[in-house]
Amino acid sequence: MASLPKRIIKETERLVSDPVPGITAEPHDDNLRYFEVTIEGPAGSPYENGIFQLELYLPDDYPMEAPKVRFLTKIYHPNIDRLGRICLDVLKTNWSPALQIRTVLLSIQALLASPNPNDPLANDVAEDWIKNEEGAKNKAREWTQLYATKK
Amino acid sequence: MTEKKRFFKDELESSIETTKSFNTSFENSKSFLFNPTQDNIDIADPNDNNDDDGDVGNDINNPEASINIESESDDDIEIIEESQISPKGTFTNGIIDVVPDIDDKMISQLYNKYKDTQDPLSSALSYYFENCQSTDGNSQKITYIPSSPIKISPLKRKHTTIASFISEPHHTTPTIPSQKKVKKSIMWERFIGALQVTAMATRPAMKPLKYGSKFKLVKQQSDIPTSKLYDTKGRQKKMMSSYVKIFDIQLNREIGKVPEDIARIIYPLLDTDEVIFDATLVFCDDRRLSIGDSFILELDCYLTSILFQDEIELLSSQSSQNLNNYNNNKPLHQSFKSNTPDKVEDMESKSRRVALITLFKKLRVRPLQKHEEELIKTQQSENVVQEEEDVIDVDDDEGFGEIMSETYENPEIDSPKYDTEESMNLNQLQTFYNSAQSYETLKNLPETNPPSELVKMTLRPYQKQGLTWMLRREHEYDKAAQCEDFEVDGDMMNPLWNQFKWPKNRSWNVNKLKEKSIDTSINNELFFYANLHTGDFSIEKPILKTMIKGGILSDEMGLGKTISALSLVLMAPSDSSQAEKKLFKTDTEDEINTESPNLTSRKPYASKTTLIIVPMSLLNQWNSEFNAINNCSKYKSEIYYGGNVSSLKTLLTKTKKPPTVILTTYGIVQNEWSKLFREGGNSNEAVMSSSGLFSLEFYRIIIDEGHTIRNRSTITSKSVMDLSSKCKWILTGTPIINRLDDLFSMVKFLKLEPWCNVSYWKTFVSNPFENKEFKQAFDVVNSIMRPVLLRRTKQMKNADGEPLVELPPKEVVIKKLKLNKTQEAIYKYFLDIAENSVRTGLARGDLLKKYSTILVHILRLRQICCDVELLGTLDDNDEDISRNSQVFASNSEIKRLIDNGRNASDEELNDTEKESIISILQEKYPTIDSLKKQECSICTTEDIEVDKMLLPVCGHTFCESCLTEYIDYQKDKDKDAEIKCPLCRSTIARNKLFTPLYDKTNDTLSIVHYKDVVKPAKLAALVDNLQQLEDSSSGEQVIVFSQFSSYLDILEKGLREAFPSDKAKIYKFDGRLSLKERSTVLKEFQEKDLSKQKILLLSLKAGGVGLNLTCASYAYMMDPWWSPSMEDQAIDRIHRIGQTNNVKVLRFIIEGSIEEKMLRIQERKRTIGEAMEADQEERRKRRIEEIKTLFE
């Protein structure tokens, strides 16, 4: 395995020793650049009580390149498509090497709290959201209940 | 013939004196023969002249005599010699005047008989005419054993001649088998095969020939001089068939002649009695024969004892030390010196040899393969009655093909030409001799476990096997591990010989004469042996005597040759035979002596000391390995270097406990040798009075990296050859570097008879190789090397099918880099110059004349790839190229380019802008404390070092490397993208970077503009890689290779700037270090320190071989080398036994530069192998090709 930059090790250590509330991130045993992530749905949002699984991968050029993050759990959200891909500026153009795994995951949590249907990735969801926000939120709650709660 | 017979009888009975005088002459000849070489040459030369005279002049005008004289060699040389000066000469001339066709043997006899009488000449003549005048030229024939120039001892020949002289012929023709007691000298004969011959009648027969009637074969004119039969090139001029006639025994008249191909065989052999031909009529259609009719004969062939006699003598004499004298006196390999058989003697022996080979071929007598021998032996022991298969596969001539192709060009016969495999290269050779021998050897060798009280460490199984082999080679059988099927070393058959099985007697006579064998003992022998190269035969197995104890341990790099050799030294530290003789000490002469016995015999014998010669860089390593492995306080080692021992002679022979091992370098050996042999005229005296290496005979010499002596014309090689010892060992991982001839030097060092004679080697190895007869050359090389060379490779498997050594995997990655802008501009500039030069060179066709200039061009380009600064340096260690200064641009031109390159990237920041930014930043960071505990947000390093800190306009802090990497990365992704500060996203720019400058003494901090000095591509890449490595695993030891030692200096400086001294320790090892410094550097480097990265800058030339640096598992090759094996060697410094980690090698190559092309040439070298470059023209072409490749 290619050698791991010091920064990644440092970040991983900090994620474990000083975790962000509502977020867990654990590196995979076989590949320390691959993280298994869970994010709790923020209180007050339609995703409350849900626990969402994500995967995060640090590319070779990290931290020059942004990490790649994807939802594994199905979620009804205008900025997250059916494949779990996330539309978030810091993951794309606004990435800066000063950002870290921690900050990226916090941004995603914030995105759950405040969906942005005006910059959609899942167009049908966004449309739904604009037309009938309550109905959309109900559906999101439903999905959360259905897919993101532990049974 | 009857008269002749009587003559012999009379001679025998009447004159005991004759025999006596013969004995005297025999004594004389003996003493003559054992005179020093020089005398012999003096005599031989007039003899040669005499041969020429013989043909034209009148002093020997009898052709037959001339044949005899030439073929009889030494003892006759004496006679000829005398014929010109002595009374005997007058006598001889006198006789020849009267009886022109008298045999000179007879002259000798007559002379001896009558020399004491008053008038010897007339007495002799009257005796001659009374008693022995004969009309039949054939009957005068005297047993003549054709000389085989190499082997037959003249001593023996004389014996045989006498024997045949005094023997009593009972029958008229010696060639009739039923009368084989003709001469006592034929002790026995044995059936070798039968031929069916269709003969042609040359005389009409009165009545039909009877089935089964006996014929004899007779030379029509036995007195034809060889010069008439063969032209000067050894080609046949005349049809042999006209000279070999078939005679009817009963009628004693000519019947017919044999076909040409048979005649060619028979003619040279007919007179010799070595082979007897026995012709029987099997078919003549039962009618009268007219001229031209054909009839069929069965020709039974027998080999006689004469053929074997000389060989038996030879074998026994070879083992004695006489051989040396014998060698010295007789130009032993005379016939090999020239390939043009201009001497009649050569021609005769050659025609005989060819005849024998052809005969064997016709008879389908094939040399036995090894397994066949076993098979036959078992069958024999089990008393299995084996039926010979009567049907012989006609096409199965393969075995003979080999032999045939091994003889010299034989125009007389259509030898099956080998389809020369066009591209036998070195790699193939390597596999060739690997597979041929070592594999089997390896599996069957028992393991010798050195006692722990001697050797501290445990050897690996294959090393133990190697030790067994080495001990055996030194004849220390009791110390080596035993195994059941071990045959004592000597059992090796001489490679030039072939083993043959006696065929079942299927001759015509076998049914009729049941008990025809005279000497039954011979019939019990299963095999006989023949050297078809020389035409020598033997009943006994021609055991290959390797004169010297020792050999070549050629295990692949990293298999622990050093350990094996040292174990051997400890197991057998001193000459055991010498221990008993100890009381008489010093001047005892050796049984096995080296080539100059009178010189070495007087040298004191350091019987307890092994001399080990190693390259300078390995001196300490050997010493420490010896101390590491040695577990016996009795034994110690001593370094002989730099004049630390005043008198080696005293130390080794006069002290009570001489050191077991003397370590020295090639340089020292060469130095002492030059002093002794170059300056003083009388080298012998100088040697005696000296007290250094050459004043002694060592018990054992081991040369490490033995390929150092591969070029035998170098002083190093010559000097090493002149050292004397009883045992000699060569350690080398690469026995062949460039040419097959590299092996010769080793053979010569080992004094491996007979190959150490250069003419021998040339004849059997070099010449065939140059003539593209690779198979033959390799066959011979293989058989030379088999007994003395042990080679194991890392890939080899032991008996259980496991690899010998399991080394951790090695990964070699080529990292392609781009030149920075400065480098690129300069590279382009020099490339233009170089291309121009090559182009004009090619156009004018004198490219190679300018070769050295072009090499300089190439060197410049390679240097630019490393670092522009190298251009200015002058470093003798780099390469031996005369520096023609006019080739380069003047220094100012380079400077201009460097400056240009620097500024090309960004427009200069104007000063006012600069000032204003600086003042803002200074406000932000007024003191050094304000810069403490700053974190780089890119690498998350806290507390960036101040001198490595970079500040963009916004004032955020970053590491120098992180920020520049970030900027470059963004630029790479999108050229026009606006680069933003990673933290505040304000725009930053490459030319607007600033760095703090802290002055410790005054405790003042200033902010200065960050000068955008782009590091050279390779240095930057190296620093990056080392940084990454340090980040991922700290405390690694890494090695950085370069061939330019001045580049190592630059790297050292660059690395010191990049890494603070508490983080990384940098060592440099190159040719400029003294011995002591070398060992300190290596010792310090090898100590593991987890807190610091240790970087060893290693010069490829000084440290490329031998060093053991397994503590490191990372290596960086900064620049490519022409020969890939050099780089492999370097990598093997870390990838060898003892390495526990995966080995990673990174090779930095500049993309699209000359370095990439060098890689291509390397690749080709790997596949083609330098061996193919044997001839000059070819090499020239290749050089031009290479240059073209570089500049295409």
Q: What is the mean pLDDT of residues B951-980?
A: 81
Instruction: Decide if A5 and B1028 are in contact by the 8 Å CB cutoff.
Output: yes
Residue in B962, B965, B1032 nearest the CB of A3: B1032
* B924 touches B934 (CB < 8 A): no
Closest listed residue to residue B304, CA positions, set B186, B177, B184: B186
The separation between CA B914 and the C-alpha centre of its own chain, rounded to angstroms, equals 71
Q: State the pLDDT at residue B117.
A: 63
Residues of A in contact with B985 (CB under 8 A): 94, 96
Instruction: Decide if B940 and A64 are in contact by the 8 Å CB cutoff.
Output: no
DSSP state of B1173: G
Nearest CA distance, B988 vs chain A (angstrom): 13
Residues of A in contact with B987 (CB under 8 A): none
* B117 touches B15 (CB < 8 A): no
Find, in chain B, the residue whose alpha carbon is nearest to that of A61: B969
What H or E segment, with its residue span, contains residue B897? helix B891-904
Q: What is the mean pLDDT of residues B53-65?
A: 40
Residues of B in contact with A100 (CB under 8 A): 940
Burial of B123 (0-12, 13-18, 19+ CB in 10 A): middle
Angle between helices B104-114 and B120-127 in degrees, nearest 10: 120
Chain B contact for A114, CB < 8 A?
A: no
Q: State the pLDDT at residue B90.
A: 65
Residue in B965, B982, B1032 nearest the CB of A4: B1032
Q: State the pLDDT at residue B28.
A: 42
Chain A contact for B1063, CB < 8 A?
A: no
* B926 touches A24 (CB < 8 A): no
Sequence-separated (6 or more) residues with CB below 8 Å from residue A104: A56, A66, A67, A69, A90, A91
Chain B contact for A100, CB < 8 A?
A: yes
Q: Distance between CA B1190 and CA B1187 in Å, rounded?
A: 5
Q: Distance between CA B1145 and CA B1131 in Å, rounded?
A: 8
Q: State the pLDDT at residue A151.
A: 58
CA distances from B779 to B436, B782, B785 (A): 10, 5, 10
Q: Is B252 helix (H, G, I), strand (E, B) or coil?
A: coil
Instruction: Decide if B962 and A10 are in contact by the 8 Å CB cutoff.
Output: no
* B133 touches B3 (CB < 8 A): yes
* B715 touches B674 (CB < 8 A): yes
Q: Distance between CA B357 and CA B422 in Å, rounded?
A: 27
Chain B contact for A61, CB < 8 A?
A: yes
Instruction: Decide if B938 and A7 are in contact by the 8 Å CB cutoff.
Output: yes
Nearest CA distance, B740 vs chain A (angstrom): 43
The CA radius of gyration of chain A, in Å to the nearest whole number, is 16
What spatial distance separates the first Cα and last Cα of chain A, rounded to whole Å?
38
Label residue B38 by pLDDT band (50, 70, 90).
very low
Chain A contact for B945, CB < 8 A?
A: no
Chain B contact for A5, CB < 8 A?
A: yes
Label residue B444 by pLDDT band (50, 70, 90).
low
Q: Is the pLDDT of residue B156 over 80?
A: no
Residues of A in contact with B983 (CB under 8 A): 96, 98
Sequence-separated (6 or more) residues with CB below 8 Å from residue B1011: none
Residue in A3, A61, A99 nearest the CB of B1029: A3
Give buried/exposed letters for B140-159 (b at 16+ CB in 10 A, else e).
bbebbbbbbbbbbbbbbbbb
Q: Which residue has the higher pLDDT, B778 or B1135?
A: B1135
- Catalytic status, residue A104: no
Q: Which residue has the higher pLDDT, B1057 or A32?
A: A32
Number of residues assigned to chain B: 1192
Chain A contact for B974, CB < 8 A?
A: no
Chain A contact for B14, CB < 8 A?
A: no
Q: Is the pLDDT of residue B622 over 90?
A: no
Q: Distance between CA B1021 and CA B1029 in Å, rounded?
A: 12
Nearest CA distance, B1000 vs chain A (angstrom): 30
Nearest CA distance, A11 vs chain B (angstrom): 8
Find, in chain A, the residue whose alpha carbon is nearest to that of B1025: A3
Label residue B43 by pLDDT band (50, 70, 90).
very low
Chain B contact for A1, CB < 8 A?
A: no
Q: Distance between CA B389 and CA B509 in Å, rounded?
A: 19
Label residue A111 by pLDDT band (50, 70, 90).
very high
Residue in B938, B1031, B1033 nearest the CB of A63: B938
Instruction: Decide if B969 and A63 are in contact by the 8 Å CB cutoff.
Output: no
CA distances from B697 to B682, B692, B693 (A): 19, 11, 8
The active-site residue, picked from A87, A111, A122, A126, is A87
Whole-number mean pLDDT of chain A?
A: 88
Label residue B1104 by pLDDT band (50, 70, 90).
low
* B996 touches B949 (CB < 8 A): yes
Q: State the pLDDT at residue B883.
A: 43
In this predicted structure, which of B170-184, B424-438, B786-800 has the lowest mean pLDDT?
Answer: B170-184
Q: Is the pLDDT of residue B988 over 50?
A: yes
Q: Which residue has the tokens 């940084």?
A: B1027
Find, in chain A, the residue whose alpha carbon is nearest to that of B1030: A6
Sequence-separated (6 or more) residues with CB below 8 Å from residue B674: B715, B719
Q: Is the pLDDT of residue B327 over 60?
A: no
Chain B contact for A97, CB < 8 A?
A: yes
* B437 touches B492 (CB < 8 A): no
Q: Is the pLDDT of residue B320 over 60?
A: no
Chain A contact for B983, CB < 8 A?
A: yes
Label residue A56 by pLDDT band (50, 70, 90).
very high
Instruction: Decide if A97 and B1032 are in contact by the 8 Å CB cutoff.
Output: no
Closest listed residue to residue B849, CA positions, set B840, B836, B859: B840
Q: What is the mean pLDDT of residues B678-693?
A: 63
Q: Is the pLDDT of residue B1128 over 70?
A: yes
Residues of B in contact with A64 (CB under 8 A): 965-966, 969
Q: State the pLDDT at residue A55.
A: 93
Residues of A in contact with B1024 (CB under 8 A): none
Number of residues assigned to chain A: 151
Closest listed residue to residue B363, CA positions, set B247, B266, B249: B266
Chain A contact for B431, CB < 8 A?
A: no
Chain B contact for A6, CB < 8 A?
A: yes
Residue in A3, A11, A98 nearest the CB of B938: A98
User: Across the strands, what pairs with B728?
Assistant: B550, B701
In which region does residue A120 sit, left (phi positive, over 0), alpha (psi from -120 to 50) or beta (all else)? Answer: beta
Q: Distance between CA B136 and CA B3 in Å, rounded?
A: 11
Nearest CA distance, A4 vs chain B (angstrom): 6
In this predicted structure, which of A114-118, B81-85, B569-573, B644-648 has the lowest mean pLDDT?
Answer: B81-85
Q: State the pLDDT at residue B289.
A: 74
pLDDT single digits (tens) B1038-1080? 989 888 888 888 888 888 877 877 778 888 888 888 878 888 8
Q: State the pLDDT at residue B62.
A: 42
pLDDT over 90, % of chain B: 0
Q: State the pLDDT at residue B236.
A: 55
Dihedral sign for Cα B109, B112, B116, B118, please: positive
Q: Is the pLDDT of residue B1097 over 70?
A: yes
User: Across the strands, what pairs with A47?
Assistant: none
Q: Distance between CA A62 and CA B378 in Å, rounded?
A: 75
Instruction: Decide if B969 and A64 are in contact by the 8 Å CB cutoff.
Output: yes
Chain A contact for B1033, CB < 8 A?
A: yes
In this predicted structure, which of B164-173, B435-444, B657-666, B709-718 has the lowest mean pLDDT?
Answer: B164-173
pLDDT single digits (tens) B992-1035? 788 887 776 777 777 777 765 567 888 888 888 888 888 777 77
Interface mutation vs chain B, best among A4, A7, A65, most B CBs within 10 Å: A7
Q: Distance between CA B947 and CA B723 in Å, rounded?
A: 60
What H or E segment, with its residue span, contains residue A39? strand A34-40
Q: Which residue has the tokens 């013989």?
A: B54
pLDDT single digits (tens) B836-877? 888 887 787 777 777 777 778 888 888 888 887 777 654 444
Instruction: Decide if B1033 and A3 are in contact by the 8 Å CB cutoff.
Output: yes
Q: Distance between CA B785 and CA B778 in Å, rounded?
A: 10
Residues of A in contact with B980 (CB under 8 A): 96
In this predicted structure, which of A21-35, B300-314, B657-671, B1065-1079 has the lowest mean pLDDT?
Answer: B300-314
Instruction: Decide if B966 and A97 are in contact by the 8 Å CB cutoff.
Output: yes
Label residue A37 by pLDDT band (50, 70, 90).
very high
Q: What is the pTM of this model?
A: 0.46
Question: How many CB atoms lie under 10 A from the CB of residue B237?
Answer: 10
The CA radius of gyration of chain B, in Å to the nearest whole number, is 40
* B101 touches B137 (CB < 8 A): yes
Label residue B368 by pLDDT band (50, 70, 90).
low
pLDDT single digits (tens) B1171-1182? 444 455 566 666
Burial of B1140 (0-12, 13-18, 19+ CB in 10 A): exposed
Q: Is the pLDDT of residue B1099 over 70?
A: yes
Q: State the pLDDT at residue B1126.
A: 75
Residue in A4, A10, A94 nearest the CB of B940: A10
Q: Distance between CA B740 and CA B1174 in Å, rounded?
A: 9
pLDDT single digits (tens) B258-288? 777 777 777 777 766 777 777 787 777 767 7
Q: What is the mean pLDDT of residues B5-22?
A: 43
Q: Is the pLDDT of residue B1147 over 80?
A: yes
Find, in chain A, the residue whose alpha carbon is nearest to that of B1029: A3
Q: Distance between CA B241 and CA B199 in Å, rounded?
A: 10
Q: Which residue has the higher pLDDT, B606 or B343?
A: B606
Nearest CA distance, B766 vs chain A (angstrom): 51
* B550 touches B729 (CB < 8 A): yes
Q: Which residue has the higher pLDDT, B623 or B225?
A: B623
Instruction: Decide if B940 and A7 are in contact by the 8 Å CB cutoff.
Output: yes
Q: Which residue has the higher pLDDT, B257 or B400?
A: B257
Q: State the pLDDT at residue B911.
A: 72
Nearest CA distance, B936 vs chain A (angstrom): 8
The separation between CA B422 and the C-alpha centre of its own chain, rounded to angstroms, equals 21
